[in-house]
Each structure stands twice: as structure tokens, then as C-alpha cells.
Amino acid sequence: MIRANRILRADALSGAEIVDRVVLDSGDRHRRRVVMRGEGGLSFLLDLPEPAVLEDGDALVLSDGRLVWVEAAPERLLAIRAGSDHALKRLIWHIGNRHIPAEIAEDAVYIAHDHVLAEMVWGLGGTAEPVERPFRPEGGAYAGGHAQDGHAHGGHAQDGHAHGGHGHDSDHGHDHAHHHHHGHAHAHD
């Protein structure tokens, strides 16, 4: 089976031949080694030296020099907004306090669709509008690697971040309870 063992970042793409494309959600874009199948039917083994985040517009370099385009799949998200910068920062703090992946844009924060978090946002005076778009969560202080690397929580990849005393090294979702103190200050509204 042909292998892809290198990522060519979107800003470095040249005239090389793109032979297929893979459409991946945010969880599936954080990989090291997995068999992939392109939209055109090309099967190959992604075999990177270490886990990496595949960004929308990157290409995977096959062992024969051909390229497979990486496209971020649209995902069901919440676009969280607030009436002021201060109110949005406050919402970002509450979201971050829950250790969930978030993409911070100029005027909104995007998180995976979750009705409980939507209710929290509404209760804090914000809006949580369902949208479908590619998800590019922030990498966080412990993500390492590419400047825009995110960490996945969909049961597909390693977290790559620490939680004040414990790390995550296995494939799992991020719905587990934390039964220890993280040193977070909790606001009382």
C-alpha cells in the first residue's frame, strides 16, 4: 500500500500533482497513522513520524511524490456571540473552564453543538446559533507542533494537553468528569 509520510502545508503548495482529496472532520484531522481513502477511491497509509493536525488546504505527500488534498469537512457547531467584547470574553472564560475545544474568531467562538452549553450561553446573556462549517479549534498551550494545531476530542486522536496533574494518552471522548481541583476560580452570577 502506498504511504503518505509528510505534510505539505497549504502555504508551501507548488505545482505538484494532486491526485485525490480526503474530507475530514476536526477529530480525523489530528492523526499519525491510519489507512485513508480519498474521495476518488485512492487508498493509502498515512504514516507520519508523530501526530499532527492536518489543516484545510494542506496536502499529504505520497511516497511517489503525488499529493492528496486535505479538506476540512463541515461540522455541526454553535456560533457563540455576545453584545460586547467584555461579554464575549466572559463567555470564552466559561467555555474554557469546561475544557472543550473551541475556535476563537474575531466576533464569535465556535464549539461543537451541545444543547447544555447553548443553554449556559443563553443564561449568561449570549447567543448560541447552530451553524455548519469546518471546525478549527485552538491548539492550547500544550498542543505543540504546527502553529495552528488543535487537539481532537472526538474519540479519534490523542488530546496532547494537560489538566493540572493528569495527561491524556489514549483514544477517548472528552465527556469524562473531573473529580479533582484544577485551581479555577468560579464566577458567581
CA nearest neighbour of 107 among 92, 124, 120: 92
Query: Could you tell me how far CA 26 lies from the centroid of its own chain?
Result: 4
Q: What is the mean pLDDT of the chain?
A: 79
Reported confidence tier of residue 139, pLDDT bands at 50, 70, 90: confident
* The three three-digit cell numbers of residue 95, written as one number: 467555555
Q: What percent of the chain has pLDDT over 90?
A: 67
What are the angstrom distances between the C-alpha of 56 and each of 62, 81, 126, 143?
Answer: 18, 24, 29, 18
Whole-angstrom distance, CA of residue 22 vs CA of residue 181: 41
Q: Give the per-residue pLDDT at 38.
A: 97
Query: Are the CB atoms for 155 and 173 separated by under 8 Å?
Result: yes
Q: Please tell me whether the overall predicted TM-score, pTM, comes out greater than 0.75 for this model.
A: no
Q: Look at the block and give the residue holding cell 488543535.
A: 150
pLDDT at 141 over 60: no
3-state secondary structure (DSSP) of residue 5 = strand
pLDDT by residue (tens digit) across 32-88?
999 999 999 999 999 999 999 999 999 999 999 999 999 999 999 999 999 999 999
Reported confidence tier of residue 12, pLDDT bands at 50, 70, 90: confident
Q: Could you tell me which residue, 150 or 100, shows the higher pLDDT?
A: 100
Query: Are the CB atoms for 95 and 108 separated by under 8 Å?
Result: no
pLDDT at 18 over 60: yes
What are the angstrom distances between the C-alpha of 68 and each of 30, 46, 62, 128, 152?
Answer: 16, 11, 7, 35, 22
3-state secondary structure (DSSP) of residue 118 = helix
What are the angstrom distances between the C-alpha of 47 and each of 51, 132, 135?
Answer: 9, 30, 24
Q: Could you say which DSSP state residue 167 is in?
A: B
Q: Give the per-residue pLDDT at 17.
A: 78
Reported confidence tier of residue 5, pLDDT bands at 50, 70, 90: very high
Q: Could you tell me which residue, 123 or 167, shows the higher pLDDT?
A: 123
CA nearest neighbour of 123 among 133, 132, 115: 115
Q: Give the per-residue pLDDT at 176.
A: 36
Query: Could you tell me how far CA 6 lies from the centroid of its own chain?
Result: 20
pLDDT at 147 over 80: no
* The three three-digit cell numbers of residue 87, written as one number: 461579554
* The three three-digit cell numbers of residue 25, written as one number: 472532520
